[in-house]
Amino acid sequence: MGRLGFYFDMTRCIGCRACQVACKDKNRLEVGVIFRNAHTYSVGTFPSVRCYSYSGTCYHCAEPACVERCPTGAMYRAEDGVVLHDDELCTGCGTCVNACPYGNPKVLPEANIAAKCDSCKALRDAGGNPACVDACPQRALEFGDIDMLQEIHGAAQVSLAVLPRPETTQPSLVVRAKEAAFDPHFQEITY
């Protein structure tokens, strides 16, 4: 098995945020802290406006900036390529938060340690999927071997306008994107 990561089918995503809620609930996160973040964007001008939704989290990068810059070694890559966090080694300095171009690690205010998506390691170890994957009513998310996901879906690692260039950290993310997601003139739709 190669690197593990996420597949996201933007053509199926309706922006319902069920993935975000499931992640927050499963991880029992404090108010204001989320590991999976869903956004809806618009591109174009009236009368030619197009919209798309994007659901993002930690991409368990091949070259994770959070691991590289963590001064204590609390952030590390497991053998399967998933980026994990050791609470015991963390000092809550926030270096990983500032290093990650995707904004995934967060410093938990009450615990004063960093935390992030671990791709629901406990659920996966028990034979399940990450909570976000099972919560998606449109089946827009999958988790598994990146090469296999790419082969199955014919999707690729792409440069979306809302994300940093993939060459930066080599994220374990495969996306089936809508054409609108490549337009650099996007605007977030807030509810």
Q: What is the pLDDT of residues 98-120, one digit of tens each?
A: 999 999 999 998 899 999 999 99
d(CA 150, CA 5): 11
Domain 4-189 sits in CATH at 3.30.70.20
Residue for token pair 């960093």: 114
Asked if 85 and 95 count as a contact pair (C-beta separation under 8 A), the reply is no
- Residue among 3, 146, 2, 131 at smallest CA distance from 57: 131
pLDDT at 1: 55
Asked if 128 and 134 count as a contact pair (C-beta separation under 8 A), the reply is yes
* Amino acid type, 137: P
Better-predicted residue by pLDDT, 158 or 66: 66
Asked if 93 and 63 count as a contact pair (C-beta separation under 8 A), the reply is no
In the chain, domain spans: 4-189
Cross-strand pairs, 40: 53, 189
Degrees, nearest 5: CA angle 44-47-52: 45
Pairing of strands 173-176, 4-9: parallel
**pLDDT-derived band of residue 2, with 50, 70 and 90 as boundaries?**
confident
Degrees, nearest 5: CA angle 18-120-19: 10
pLDDT in tens, 116-173: 999 999 999 999 999 999 999 999 999 999 999 999 998 777 789 999 999 989 999 9
Residue for token pair 């973040």: 37
Q: Report, as an integer, the average pLDDT of 86-91.
A: 96
pLDDT in tens, 158-168: 789 999 999 98
Does residue 27 surpass a pLDDT of 90? Answer: yes
Q: Report, as an integer, the average pLDDT of 7-33.
A: 95
Supply the DSSP symbol for 156: B
pLDDT at 190: 83
d(CA 158, CA 75): 25
pLDDT at 155: 72
pLDDT at 15: 95
Distances (CA, A) of 129 to 3, 93, 124: 16, 31, 5
